[in-house]
Every structure is written in structure tokens, then in C-alpha cells.
Amino acid sequence: MRKRVMILFVASLLLITSAMAKTTIVHWMHHSPSRAMIIMEMASEFMNENPDVEIKVQTIPYSEYKTKLLAALAAGSGPDVAQIPATAMEEFFGYGLIRPMTESVATAEEMREKCIDAAIDKLIIDGQLYGFPTDVQTIVLFYNPYLFEQAGLDPYSPPQDWTELLEYAKELTIWEGNKMVQSGLGIEGYEPVIESFMRQAGATFLVSDQEIKIKYEDAQLEGLKFLTDAVLKHKVYVPEFGSRWTGFRQIKEAMVFGHGAMVGSFQVGSHPDLEFRTALPPAHPETGNRSSVLTSWALVLMSDCRTPEIASKWLAFISSPEAQKLWFKDTGELPSYLSVISDPEFADDPLLSPILDSLNYAVPTFSAGWGNPAALLRETAYNSVINKGADPEEALKKAINEINQYLEETFGIF
Amino acid sequence: MVELSNNSLSKILIAAGLILIILSFFLPYASGEVVYRVVDFSFWGAVNLLPVYIVLLCLFALFLAIGKISFLLGTAVSLLVLNITIIFMRTEWQEVLRSKFFLDFLGIAGYGWWISLMGSVAVLVAVVKLIPDKKRAPYLFILPSLFGVFFLTFFPAMFAFFISFHRWNILVPNKPFVGLANFRKAFTDEYFLRSLWISFKYALGVIPAKIVISFFFALLIYSIPKFKSVFRVIYFLPAVTSVVAISVIWTWIYHPYYGVANYLISLFGAEPINWLGNPEIAIWSVVLVSVWRSVGYSIIIFLAGLNNIPRIILEASDIDGATRWQKVKNIIIPLMKPSLVFVFITSTIGAIQVFTEIYMMTGGNADTKTAVFYIWQTGFNKLQMGYASSMSIVLFAIILVITLVQMRVTKIFKEE
């Protein structure tokens, strides 16, 4: 009798324990206070809706994120879901590190219909959806209407093409003797900005759709030369002026190109009198092209993920149209769903509407791979011209060779 | 010479251990999809594990008979190492040797492997017990540190040698052997050679400045006993502050527009300088910060050296009428040679390996990409760990040669 009671007790204990056991999903993302707050709220909401699921969010400082994720993946102790640069999708797919989303949650066709192509292109591999878009960013122009007015320019008319951009920048630059006291246009060679100018001039980068290799184009040189000439020849900005962000924050710089997410950054910790507006990137004077290079991250399922269906649901939840609105309002991360982009709620917002509009001109970056070879446009091409007086054409060709060497070494093994 | 007859526990352990090891030869060592016995493992596919085991067991018996304890210990350790390293012996496993795989191996390890492990441990414990207490105790005390040094320093360093001969992407299971290709690439890589030059430039800036400044301040603190402790603390403070915090603060000091550095030079009518952005001077700006940060540590070393100089010699020189400079030149500097050599060599090694200051202050821009920064970028950004390891080995060889030359030169200098 006693033995039976014991068996019954142990069996019921096991039953209760297994019933109480929750499905745990470990989620890794890079950290910013506002992002962390939103994701924690979303995790609570998701867990309330799915009481048998536990979401463990680990936010890691951006500077350490890639190294930590890499080490964890190599050790086989990575998370169930994580955000990775969209440029690394193809490479991770090749390594067998990521798995497609569960089809009952989302399919490639469905996402293609609902999202802009530039945000989703790199996330669909072999016709399957491998990631949801997150941290989508384009390049927009930030300008200071007060400094425009001071220089006799219309504060409601940002430059519309390259010619105007340069003219305005020159008008807005102020020197005191040998010292620049106000920069017309902050330029530091950020690679999505360089690539945007190159795209506007007509560059297409890839040799073909089938091959991950880039070609040299005159349009690339035109884009690069426009920016380097603005610094070296027209002197609308000089490296001695310091960080382009600080200059803009301190009302010492009239225009600067950056991601839409800088709206939040400029609103906090800048000069109290800072006023700024946003505008689409000026068009190329001949092509009329306003291309804005889109960079993004992807929310992916790791191949070791034990519960792909529920993990897919979780990722779909945090990147849904409702969630994207929240991300956009609180962190400046751009939406990728057409329904959010055209949401009337943002249409009249003078700061946010040009940023959303830039998505209509968005082009995905040519960059591919965990190492982000597009950075060589800055490191090898732009910096060599600005700092060492290298010939732009030679510097660009060298950068392209190095990019192709990286692409060959990275993707040649697949 | 060991006395086995008085140590019955050791006798039992050795007998049990040897029996377990021999027994394991008949049992499976791994039983996953395929069952592997000891004969299925070999070194580089050429030397079978079983004969190696038999040779080691025979040697063990021989050393036991002649009572050579150090040889016995060596053989016992080899038996244990052999058992643990079989994981590296199947070539098809080498493609998936990630840390999780080691755990997976424990899941598929067969009775034979576990029994052999227990046997090897028993034999090793027995041999250690045979060592007289007085001789054994110090080694047992340093054993935890030795383990730490072996697994966290020595093993990774040796492993770097191994992977430098492979195309080793940590995310790709297939890691083909490429011979010396990575080394050939390193010697022709324009950016690596440039980064080496930048590292040497940095070291050439840091080492003499650090030695001269810290020696000067150590001498001042030593000569003026008043507030000695206070000054010692003040100079040592930067050394205990986080490099990251220091780098952030100095980045602001160096800010071209709002930084204190440019404000100070502007008082003398100088033009603003782009301290961290101008490739001509960025590396020297970082050198200045490194020197400022590290002089405190060298001051402490020099002060220890100065305090070791016998007072009697200095007093005798006073009686002989030596001037202050004569005392420094003829007494203090010669007697401080051990401290000077120590600071000189450790500063050289540290300076060539600089990373954090560069990572934090310039991000490798403006011609400040030092060798270690470039190696880190190649490994963690381009995922080329094999190539990164080969570059670190080249750097290790360079540092080794420099250190040996330094030691030789300072020895000659000392003998003079």
C-alpha cells in the first residue's frame, strides 16, 4: 500500500513538473537603453499571451555584441534567436547557422507583399524567409534652419540636388582666419553616405546578380570625388573641425547626413537651442536619382533553436507592424511594412515624414559578409584621399580590389 | 629512488590503475553511430594508439623497477594526456572540434575510455603519493595556478600554432590544412607589415619616454622623503584606473574643437591640432596617454630598486665629496640595472601588444592600426582565425627576438 502511494506521489510530481516546465527562448540583441526597454515590455506582453513560454532577453553593448555572438556561436552555446547584420545573412546561411522561419508564422511571399524590397531582399534566401527586418536605417539629410536663415537661405528649402548642396554648404561655412568656426556640411566618410552618393551617380556595384563580386564604375568615382572635393577643394568641412555629430549638436554645423535614428540622439544632449529638420538626400543633378542606402539587421532563428515555431512567433511579434510603429517612435528604427510607412499618423510630422519618405528611395547596400566590406570605401578610399592626398581613382580601385578579395575569401568556400 | 614496499596504498593504486588501463583495451572507447576501440585511434593516421599505450606501460614498469620517480611521474602524466587527447585523433572529428563537441564527446564516450581515464588517474595519484611529502607539498600548492596557466595561457598559445597552419574560420566545420600559406600571406600583406611598423613606432615612443620620466620621478620621490606616500599614490592612480575610462577622458581632452589640449596650446597662439584624426600625429597622441597611464607602475618598480641601494654606499660617496649627478651616474644607475632591465623588457612587450587604447581612442583610424588591432580585426571581423593566428605567431617571434637581444645586450652592459 505504502509503495503504491509512493509511486503515485512520484508520478504526480513528475506530471506537475513537466506541466510547469516552460519553453525558454534565449534572445540576444545589442543594447541601447530605449531598445532594451521596448524589448522587455514586448517580452512581458508575449509571455502574458503565451504563459508556457519564457523569453530571456540578453542585451549586450554594441561594441562587444559581434565578438560575443561570434564566440558563442563557435562554441555551440549561442542563443535561440538573435539579431545579426542583414549583410551577414548569406554568410550565416552558408555556415548552416540559421534556419528558415516556420511557414505557418510567415513566408517569403507574404513578407515580399507586405514589406519594401530593400528591407527584405537579403533576408530571403533560396525562396525561404530566414529573418525579420529590424533596425532598418536609410541615409537622410539633417539641416539647421536657424543657420540657414543666418546665411540668408530659405529655412524651408533644403538643397534639392548636389549643386545646391555644395552651394549651400559653401554659403554656410564660416572661417575665422585659418580656423573653421562653422561647417556647412559635416562629412567623415561614413560608408553608407559614400555608397548613397555613388548610387545616385548611377553605380550598381555588383558584377551580376549571380556573383558576389563588385566592379569599378565611373559613377562610384564621381560619388567619391564629390565628397572628397567638398572637403579638400571647397573646404565645407575639415577633419580638424572634429566629430560631425558634435558640430551639428552644438549649432556649429549646418548640414549632416545620417540615419533617421539620429533624431532621438539630437533631441537629447544637444545644445538647448538646437533646431533641426530632416530632408531627403539631394538628387544627382543629371540622373535625378535620390538613392538612399539601406542598412539593417535581421532577427534570425539559430539552427540550434529548440523550438522554432514559438521562436518564429516571438520574432514575428516583435517585428509586426504594431511593434514597428513603437520601434520607430521610440528609437527611430525605420519600419519595413508598407502599411506603417504609409501610416497617416506620421504623414504630417515634419521630422519623421522625410525619413519615412526616404524608404521610397531605399537601395540595399552592396555590402555582404560579417566583416562589412563596404567599410573599405571609407578606410581605403575616402581616408587615403583625405589624409594622404591619394588619387581618388587609384584609392577607389584599391578599395574595390580589397572588397573583392574579402568577398572571395568569405564566399568562395561555399 | 622510491621505496614502494612501504607504501601499500600506492601499490594497490598502481596495480588497479594498470589493470584498468589494460582492461580498457578490450572495451569500446566511443560508442556513437560507430563503435571505436583503442586500436581505431592513431596519431596523424600513422601511429596507432595501442602500441603507444603498450610502450608507455612497459616504460612505466621499467621505471618502477629501477625506482626513477621523475620518469615515473612523466610516464603517468603521459598516460593521462594520451587518454584525454584521443578526441583529436579521429580526422573526421577534427572538422567539428568546437567546444560543444567536447561535451558531446563525453556523451558518446564508451566504458573503455572512462575506465582508462580512471586507471590513468589512479596511476598518477599513486605516483604522486610516492613522492616524499617535503618534495610533493610545494608542487601541490602551485598546482591550481599551474592548471590555470596551462589551460588559459599555454594551451591557447599552442593551439594558435596549430590553427595557424589551417584555413580556420571558427564558424565553418571544415578547416583545411594549408601548410605555410598563412605565413606567406602575412609576409606579403601590406597592411600587416604596415601595422607592425606602427606598433614599433608606438613602442619607440612609449619605452624611452616611460623609462626616463618614471626614473626621474622615482628619483625625486626617493630624494625628497616628505609626502613620499602621497606622491606615490598620486602617480600610481592612472595605473589603477580603467584603460577604457582613461581613453574616453583623453578623447575629450584631445577633441579638436572643444578639447582642453587645443585650448591650452591656443593660449600660446598655436593653431588647433586634430590630435586623434591627423595620421601624422595620432599615434603620438596615443603614446602620450600610454606614457601618462603607465609611469606610475614603473615608478613603483624604480622606487623598490632605489630602496634596495645600501645607504652606506651613498653615505660613503657623500664623504668622498661626490656631487648629486656623480651619485646618480656612478652609483644609482649601475645599482638600478635589474629594475631598469625589468621595466625596459616588460615595457617593450606591453607596447608592441597595445590594443585597448587604440580600439577606444582612434578605432584604428588615422594610421594607428597596430599589429594586435589588425590581428583582432582579421580574426573577429573577417573570421580568418588561421591567418590571424599566423600573424600573432610572427608577432610573438619578433617580440621574442627583441627580448632575447635586449637580455643579451643588458647582460653585456651589466658585465661591463
- Split at pLDDT 50, 70, 90, the class of B136 is confident
CA distance A1 to A165: 91
pLDDT tens digits, residue range B41-91?
888 777 888 999 999 999 999 998 888 888 999 999 999 988 888 877 877
Q: Does B179 or B44 have the greater pLDDT score?
A: B179
pLDDT tens digits, residue range B309-358?
998 998 999 899 999 899 999 999 999 988 998 999 999 999 999 999 99
Name every chain A residue with its beta carbon within 8 A of the beta carbon of B169.
95, 413
Q: Are residues B400 and B307 in the same domain?
A: yes
Cell of A28: 540576444
Residue B240 lies in a domain: yes
List A55's β-bridge partners, or say none: A25
Helices (H), B85-132: 91-94, 99-108, 111-130
Confidence check: pLDDT of A181 > 70: yes
DSSP three-state, residue A380: helix
Name every chain A residue with its beta carbon within 8 A of the beta carbon of B273.
240
Q: What is the pLDDT of residue A16?
A: 53
Tell me which of A176, A240, A405 to substitute to probe the interface with B (most B C-beta atoms closer than 10 Å).
A240
Cell of A316: 514575428
Choosing from B100, B116, B131, the residue where a domain stops is: B131
Helix or strand (DSSP H, E) at A326: helix A321-331
- Split at pLDDT 50, 70, 90, the class of A39 is very high
Name every chain B residue with its beta carbon within 8 A of the beta carbon of A383.
365-366
Of A75, A241, A242, the CB nearest to B98: A75
Q: Which of A271-275, A315-319, B133-137 has the lowest mean pLDDT?
A: B133-137
CB of B261 within 8 A of CB of B300?
A: no
Q: Does A241 touch chain B (CB under 8 A)?
A: yes
- Contact criterion met (CB < 8 Å) for A179 and B272: yes
DSSP three-state, residue A300: strand
Q: Does B99 touch chain A (CB under 8 A)?
A: yes
Confidence check: pLDDT of A19 > 80: no
Q: What is the pLDDT of residue B34?
A: 81
- Contact criterion met (CB < 8 Å) for A252 and B257: yes
CA distance B157 to A175: 55
Question: A395 CB contacts (<8 Å, ≥6 apart)?
Answer: A224, A380, A381, A382, A384, A385
CB of A310 within 8 A of CB of A382?
A: no
Q: Are residues B274 and B372 in the same domain?
A: yes
Q: How close B99 gets to chain A, by Cα (Å)? A: 5
Question: B62 CB contacts (<8 Å, ≥6 apart)?
Answer: none
- Contact criterion met (CB < 8 Å) for B274 and A371: no
- Contact criterion met (CB < 8 Å) for B257 and A242: yes
Confidence check: pLDDT of B1 > 60: no
Q: Does A239 or A6 have the greater pLDDT score?
A: A239
Q: What is the pLDDT of residue B282?
A: 93
End-to-end CA distance of chain A: 65
Q: Does B382 touch chain A (CB under 8 A)?
A: yes
Choosing from B106, B131, B156, the residue where a domain stops is: B131
- Contact criterion met (CB < 8 Å) for B99 and A75: yes
Q: CA angle A224-A226-A231, nearest 5°?
A: 100
- Average pLDDT over every residue of B288-300: 94
Main-chain phi, psi angles of A274, to 5 degrees: -65, 125
Name every chain B residue with its beta carbon within 8 A of the beta carbon of A175.
none
Helix or strand (DSSP H, E) at A257: strand A255-259
Q: Closest chain B residue to A304 measured between Cα atoms?
A: B100
Confidence check: pLDDT of A189 > 60: yes
- Split at pLDDT 50, 70, 90, the class of B3 is low
- Contact criterion met (CB < 8 Å) for A242 and B169: no
Mean pLDDT of chain B: 88
For residue A115, give the DSSP letter: B
Going by their DSSP bridges, the two strands A23-31 and A53-61 should be labelled as parallel
- Average pLDDT over every residue of B388-402: 95
Q: Does B383 touch chain A (CB under 8 A)?
A: yes
- Split at pLDDT 50, 70, 90, the class of B36 is confident
Residue B394 lies in a domain: yes
Residue B237 lies in a domain: yes
CB of A336 within 8 A of CB of A106?
A: no
Confidence check: pLDDT of B364 > 60: yes
- Look up the pTM and report it: 0.80
The identity of residue A8, as a single letter, is L
Going by their DSSP bridges, the two strands A292-302 and A362-364 should be labelled as parallel
Residue B55 lies in a domain: yes
Q: What is the pLDDT of residue B174?
A: 78
Choosing from B131, B158, B174, the residue where a domain stops is: B131
- Average pLDDT over every residue of A271-297: 96
CA distance B324 to B334: 15
CA distance B223 to A71: 51
Residue B66 lies in a domain: yes
Burial-class residue B356 by CB neighbours within 10 Å (0-12, 13-18, 19+): middle
DSSP three-state, residue A146: helix
Tell me which of A182, A304, A409 to substitute to probe the interface with B (most B C-beta atoms closer than 10 Å).
A409
Cell of B52: 603507444
Question: A67 CB contacts (<8 Å, ≥6 apart)?
Answer: B380
Q: Are residues B67 and B199 in the same domain?
A: no
Q: Does A371 touch chain B (CB under 8 A)?
A: yes
Name every chain B residue with its beta carbon within 8 A of the beta carbon of A410.
382-383
Name every chain A residue with its beta carbon within 8 A of the beta carbon of B279.
387-388
Same fold flag, A16-136+297-348 and A139-293+365-411: yes
- Split at pLDDT 50, 70, 90, the class of A406 is very high
Of B172, B256, B381, the CB nearest to A241: B256
pLDDT tens digits, residue range A199-229?
999 999 999 888 889 999 999 999 999 999 9
Check if the interface score ipTM surpasses 0.85.
no
Q: Which of A344-348, A378-382, B41-45 has the lowest mean pLDDT?
A: B41-45
Tell me which of A90, A92, A95 to substitute to probe the interface with B (most B C-beta atoms closer than 10 Å).
A95
Cell of B31: 560508442
Residue B177 lies in a domain: no
Name every chain A residue with its beta carbon within 8 A of the beta carbon of B278.
239-240, 387
Structural domain containing residue B28 = 8-131
The domains of chain A are located at 16-136+297-348, 139-293+365-411
Q: Does A370 touch chain B (CB under 8 A)?
A: yes
Alpha-carbon Rg of chain A, whole angstroms? 24
- Domains in chain B, number: 2
CA distance A400 to A408: 12
- Split at pLDDT 50, 70, 90, the class of B272 is confident
CB of B165 within 8 A of CB of B178?
A: yes
The answer for A202, left when phi > 0, alpha when psi is -120 to 50, beta otherwise, is: left
Q: What is the pLDDT of residue A157?
A: 95
- Contact criterion met (CB < 8 Å) for A77 and B383: no
Q: Does A179 or A110 have the greater pLDDT score?
A: A110
- Contact criterion met (CB < 8 Å) for A76 and B366: no
Cell of B302: 624604480
Confidence check: pLDDT of A242 > 80: no
Residue B136 lies in a domain: no
Alpha-carbon Rg of chain B, whole angstroms? 29
Cell of B201: 613606432
Name every chain B residue with its beta carbon within 8 A of the beta carbon of A252.
257
- Per CATH, domain A16-136+297-348 is 3.40.1180.10: no
Neighbours of B325 (CB within 10 A): 8
CA distance B380 to A63: 12
CB pairs under 8 A between A and B: 78
Pick the CATH number of A139-293+365-411 from 3.40.50.720, 3.40.30.10, 3.10.450.50, 3.40.190.10: 3.40.190.10
Cell of A397: 580601385
Confidence check: pLDDT of A337 > 80: yes
Confidence check: pLDDT of A172 > 80: yes
Q: What is the pLDDT of residue A32?
A: 82
Residue B144 lies in a domain: no
Q: Does B272 touch chain A (CB under 8 A)?
A: yes
